[in-house]
């Protein structure tokens, strides 16, 4: 039954922002469906609207036209708390800038999403150790982000994104701040963890080689799908 549901469904999505008495149209008339288990790359020049689209898909931002449905649920009829709840139940997010909390160590950063969901602390700790081991950081559990390399920080962010076994994993230029070797390792892990969790992957990237690893590519040009 759930296989009939589109994991992500986007209809006539648009985003216009208003600044200094002026309006700027960032996205226009975007429609597509993504099915469970697909991997999709969103590509396009800098400024073409990729990050804005990803934020709308994840319910981190709200559209000015159209609608996004996640797991059959329209985001338009949810308030901010409702969207946050849907996000924490079904999605993980990996950012270019890692977005780890500086005052929490690696283990605590990874535990945080499960703690927010109110899951049992002891089993959350075991799960966090499991995912940090998966990304090759079992020897860095007590390290704070500033004492980790960029590649290591992004691997902590991957463990944090996957601890809740998300139905959908969003990643915005996950290798954009990394050197080539750490970037390749992060991508390898991203696809590996994605397979293990059977997650649907939606990835923003500049990297043609990375985009080619996805089952579909959406190209944005000046806010439109081409
Ligand atoms: N809140 C905002 N206010 C004004 N302009 C914005 C805002 N968010 C994005 N933009 C503009 O919209 C365009 C698309 O941005 P973005 O989605 O970040 O592009 P990309 O991720 O493809 O580089 C850019 O020109 C950016 O400057
Ligand atoms: Mg961007």
Residue entry with tokens 């993504």: 34
Supply the pLDDT for residue 209. Answer: 84
Distance CA 66, CA 64 (A): 7
- Residue 37: exposed, middle, or buried by beta-carbon count in 10 A (0-12, 13-18, 19+)? middle
* 49 CA → ligand 2 middle, Å: 7
- Please give the mean pLDDT across all residues of the chain: 94
* 63 CA → ligand 1 middle, Å: 13
Residue entry with tokens 């994104």: 161
- Report percent pLDDT > 90 for the chain: 89
- Residue 3 confidence (pLDDT) above 80: no
Q: How many CA atoms lie within 13 A of 66 on its CB side?
A: 20
Which of 22, 26, 57, 225 to probe ligand 1 with, by most ligand atoms within 8 A of CB?
26
Supply the pLDDT for residue 166. Answer: 94
Identify which ligand lies nearest to the alpha carbon of 222.
1
Mean pLDDT, rounded, for 148-155: 97
Mean pLDDT, rounded, for 128-151: 97
Which of 20, 24, 28, 56 to probe ligand 1 with, by most ligand atoms within 8 A of CB?
24
Pocket of ligand 1 (CB under 6 A): 17, 19, 24, 26, 44, 46-52
pLDDT classification of 5: cutoffs 50, 70, 90: low
Supply the pLDDT for residue 223. Answer: 97
* 47 CA → ligand 2 middle, Å: 7
Q: Is 12 helix (H, G, I), strand (E, B) or coil?
A: strand
Which residues are within 5 Å of ligand 2 (an ion), measured at CB? 50-51
Q: Whose CA is nearest to atom 26 of ligand 1?
A: 47
* 46 CA → ligand 2 middle, Å: 7
Identify which ligand lies nearest to the alpha carbon of 17.
1
pLDDT, one tens digit per residue, over 74-108 is: 999 999 999 999 999 999 999 999 999 999 999 99
pLDDT, one tens digit per residue, over 130-140 is: 999 999 999 99
Neighbours of 116 (CB within 10 A): 12
- Residue 215 confidence (pLDDT) above 60: yes
Distance CA 162, CA 93 (A): 9
Q: Whose CA is nearest to atom 17 of ligand 1?
A: 49
Distance CA 122, CA 145 (A): 23
Residue entry with tokens 């590996």: 192
Taking the domain 2-225, which CATH number applies? 3.40.50.300
* Lowest mean pLDDT, pick from 63-67, 112-116, 121-125, 137-141: 112-116
- Residue 69 confidence (pLDDT) above 90: yes
Question: What ligand 1 atom has the least distance to the C-alpha of 223?
Answer: 14
* 61 CA → ligand 1 middle, Å: 12
């Amino acid at each position: 039954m759930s296989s009939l549901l589109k994991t992500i469904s986007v209809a006539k999505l648009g985003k216009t922002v208003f600044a200094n008495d002026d309006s700027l149209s960032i996205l226009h008339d975007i429609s597509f469906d993504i099915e469970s288990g697909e991997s999709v790359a969103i590509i396009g020049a800098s400024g073409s609207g990729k990050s804005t689209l990803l934020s709308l898909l994840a319910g981190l931002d709200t559209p000015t036209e159209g609608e996004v449905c996640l797991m059959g649920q329209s985001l338009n009829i949810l308030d901010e708390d409702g969207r946050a709840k849907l996000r924490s139940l079904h999605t993980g997010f990996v950012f270019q800038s890692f977005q780890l909390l500086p005052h929490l160590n690696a283990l605590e950063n990874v535990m945080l999403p499960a703690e927010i969901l109110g899951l049992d602390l002891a089993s959350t700790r075991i799960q966090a150790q499991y995912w940090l081991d998966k990304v090759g950081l079992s020897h860095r559990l007590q390290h704070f982000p500033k004492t980790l390399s960029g590649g290591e920080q992004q691997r902590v962010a991957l463990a944090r994104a996957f601890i809740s076994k998300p139905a959908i994993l969003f990643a915005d230029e996950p290798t954009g701040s990394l050197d080539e070797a750490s970037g390749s390792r992060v991508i390898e892990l991203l696809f590996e963890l994605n397979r293990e969790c059977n997650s649907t992957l939606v990835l923003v990237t500049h990297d043609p080689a990375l985009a080619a690893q996805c089952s579909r590519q959406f190209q944005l040009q000046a806010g439109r799908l081409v």
